[in-house]
Amino acid sequence: MPSSAGHRSPATVDRRGFLRTSLGASAGLLAAPTFATWLAAADAKAATGPAAFVDDYKSNVVANQTPETNAVVRILGGMAKVWKTGGAWDTGRVLDREVLRANMRYCARITTSRTDAQAKEAFLYDRQHQSYAMIGGLGPLAGLYRSGAKAVTSITTAPDGTPAGKINDTLPADAPAGSALGAGSYDSDLGKVAKLVDTVRGPFASGNPAKFAFQYPRPWRMNEDSGVVDTGKKDALGYPVYDSDVVVAPQLLRQRSETPEEDGGFPSGHTNAFHLAGLAYAYAVPERFQELVTRAFELSHTRIMSGMHSTVDVIGGRIMATALTAATLADPANAELKAAARAQALAYFTGKTGTTPDTLYTYAHSDADDAYADREANARAVGHRLTYVLPRRGRKDPLTVPKGAEVLLETRLPYLSAAQRREVLRTTALPSGYVLLDAFEQWGRLNLFAAADGYGAFDTDVTVTLDAAAGGFHAADSWRNDIEGDGGLTKRGTGTLTLTGHNRYHGGTVVEDGTLVAASPNALGQGDVRVTGGTLRADQVLRVRGSYVQEGESTLELGLRGNHGPALTVSRRVVLGRGSVLSLRLDADRPPVAGTTVPVLSAPALRGRFDRVELDSTTLRAVPVHTADGLSVRLVKR
């Protein structure tokens, strides 16, 4: 069925007549050699090449169906390397047998092994308004959002078998006054957020122009080699019977289109809509950024589960949605709206939950029954679906982050500059070599789930400033990636930054102000560590691979766990200057007792001593024992 990204369709076009008169010409322009030649020319002469996607996204209308005229078709050009569009919807030709055969085999395996519950779930997310379906990614905030936005749906259950007729999401008869389908009503407490979602899913966000251009059929019309296999028969419902191993969920049989020339599979329109809505919500409610991204991938996967789309369709839908969302958010015409939506969401949710900007994140992750509570499970689900069956081929080419893409992280990493957010996107991106992802500007290589966890590498020195007074992510944030690179990190500002990864960056770590939390043994990489102000806190046993220097009004905060080795091990020397403080926390479960001597710090050489050693105990005090190669404390009663 033709896809629509928003409530309003693009300008009405006689699609069937248009396709009859111009499909042949469009298909010819999309033939792989022509498209490859065009891309090569654009790369070789970038100064006179096509406009950046974010500057040209409004070219995505049905009248434009070539890479020269349509920015979406252009960024999806990787498809032209695996599929050559024919002169009619069923005469295309496979160019990359390995990719498209794996694509169809995956679809067949998924649809023939699905459960009835999965088929019903696929129906729900096929028929329910995509913007409404995405609200589920808000977790503990979802119910508050639905009531505050007056967002409703009429699709809450799925039939056991084939429905009697086509079912559409409509405004329920018992809906409260002012309610609206999708993201909600503009006349509501969250009207700006609803308007932002609808704007992102606006008149230039449809997948139809690209569907008509590429004419890659839906999987249930094809065999494993992407050949159309119409048997000339009709089923009991009067639909054509396609001799494919891909099975449409029975609940969706009545929803299939009878006009295949208007019903291409690539890119998936529902996938496009899920990701458009998800990223718009994530901009307004960045406290649930990763969970919303995960839900967009999960709902998009139901398109494969239902038999309505293939993996390449879903990948294509995600690519176009990522670029379209960035373009809409980067458009100066929407600057006031996006800021208002973020401010409105923050005020509404803190007011309803009794939280502050600093504690809303914790509340938004407080429900143990949240379907997206397991971050590692989310990461695995997204990781697989970023590429599905695509093989990786070729050399490793660096990514130039597409113009404007940094806006996608504007509210999630607000304390970084635009240039720093681009570096986050670059260092967390997928490698090159995936055919659909390597097209013009390479939007498909962006991994927004990983980017929400901060840098993937410090290729140059990084200075980050967090401001506790600004609240929210400005006050405290965590970088969870395993950070590599030759650069180092300097922490400034009064806020708190936590590093949780197995980090291997070599440029060293400097703490000048606020708090830097090392939440893993290797959080501080492989270089020297220097603390000149603020606090360095270790939540676990910590390893410093270089030298450790502490001076000025600064604090090292460590935990004591009895005789289990030192809390801090330094590979080279330790230098302690005036003003340095050591703050010790007793392990709550197995605290050492009075009369014991506990190792704290070990190093080949130690020069100087802490000016003060503190212990968080009302019954014990710590007596420091400095030696030439470390520090222990003897615990005595107060």
Share the mean pLDDT of the chain: 92
Span 194-217, average pLDDT:
97
Residue 107 confidence (pLDDT): 98
HEC string for 432-463 = CCCCCCCCHHHHHHCCHHHHCCCCCECCCCEE
Of 513, 518, 478, nearest to 492 by C-alpha is 513
In this predicted structure, the answer to whether residue 114 has a pLDDT above a threshold of 50 is yes
Which pLDDT tens digit goes with each residue over 597-619? 999 999 999 999 999 999 999 89
Of 141-155, 192-206, 236-250, 381-395, give the lowest mean pLDDT range. Answer: 236-250
54-84 in b/e form (b: 16+ CB < 10 A) is bebbebbbbebbbbebbbbbbbbbbbbbbbb
Question: How many CB atoms are closer than 10 A to CB 386?
Answer: 20
In this predicted structure, the answer to whether residue 11 has a pLDDT above a threshold of 60 is no
Residue written as tokens 């995956």? 106
In this predicted structure, the answer to whether residue 592 has a pLDDT above a threshold of 60 is yes
- Band (2; pLDDT cuts 50, 70, 90): very low
Residue 87 confidence (pLDDT): 92
Span 302-322, average pLDDT:
98
Residue 375 confidence (pLDDT): 96
Span 157-172, average pLDDT:
94
Span 551-559, average pLDDT:
96
Residue 48 confidence (pLDDT): 56
Which pLDDT tens digit goes with each residue over 339-379? 999 999 999 999 999 999 999 999 999 998 999 999 999 99
Torsion of CA 208, 212, 217, 221, to 10 degrees: 90
Alpha-carbon span 51 to 484, nearest angstrom: 33
What's phi and psi for 588, nearest 5 deg? -70, -30
Of 19-23, 158-162, 316-320, 377-381, give the lowest mean pLDDT range. Answer: 19-23
DSSP 8-state class, residue 487? -
Residue 587 confidence (pLDDT): 83
End-to-end C-alpha distance for the chain, whole angstroms: 77
Residue % of the chain over a pLDDT of 70: 92
- Band (9; pLDDT cuts 50, 70, 90): very low
Alpha-carbon span 123 to 113, nearest angstrom: 16
Alpha-carbon span 487 to 505, nearest angstrom: 6
Encoded tokens for 595:
């009369």
Residue 260 confidence (pLDDT): 87
Encoded tokens for 526:
């492989």
Packing angle of the helix pair 335-353, 269-284 (nearest 10 deg): 70
Residue 25 confidence (pLDDT): 38
Element (H, E) at 538: strand 534-538
Residue 240 confidence (pLDDT): 83
Which pLDDT tens digit goes with each residue over 168-179? 999 999 999 999
What own/partner pairs with CB < 8 Å and gap ≥ 24 does 421-424 have? 423/455, 423/459, 423/462, 424/451, 424/454, 424/455, 424/456
Residue 46 confidence (pLDDT): 45
Span 129-139, average pLDDT:
98
Which pLDDT tens digit goes with each residue over 384-412? 999 999 999 987 889 999 999 999 999 99
Span 425-441, average pLDDT:
97
Residue 41 confidence (pLDDT): 53
Span 40-50, average pLDDT:
55
In this predicted structure, the answer to whether residue 530 has a pLDDT above a threshold of 70 is yes
Question: How many CB atoms are closer than 10 A to CB 253?
Answer: 17
- Band (562; pLDDT cuts 50, 70, 90): low
- How far is residue 553 CA from its own chain's centroid? 39
Of 16-20, 149-153, 474-478, give the lowest mean pLDDT range. Answer: 16-20
Residue 234 confidence (pLDDT): 84
Residue 598 confidence (pLDDT): 92
In this predicted structure, the answer to whether residue 47 has a pLDDT above a threshold of 80 is no
Residue 364 confidence (pLDDT): 98
CA distances to 137, 235, 613 from 190, in Å: 16, 46, 51
- Band (119; pLDDT cuts 50, 70, 90): very high
Residue 13 confidence (pLDDT): 37
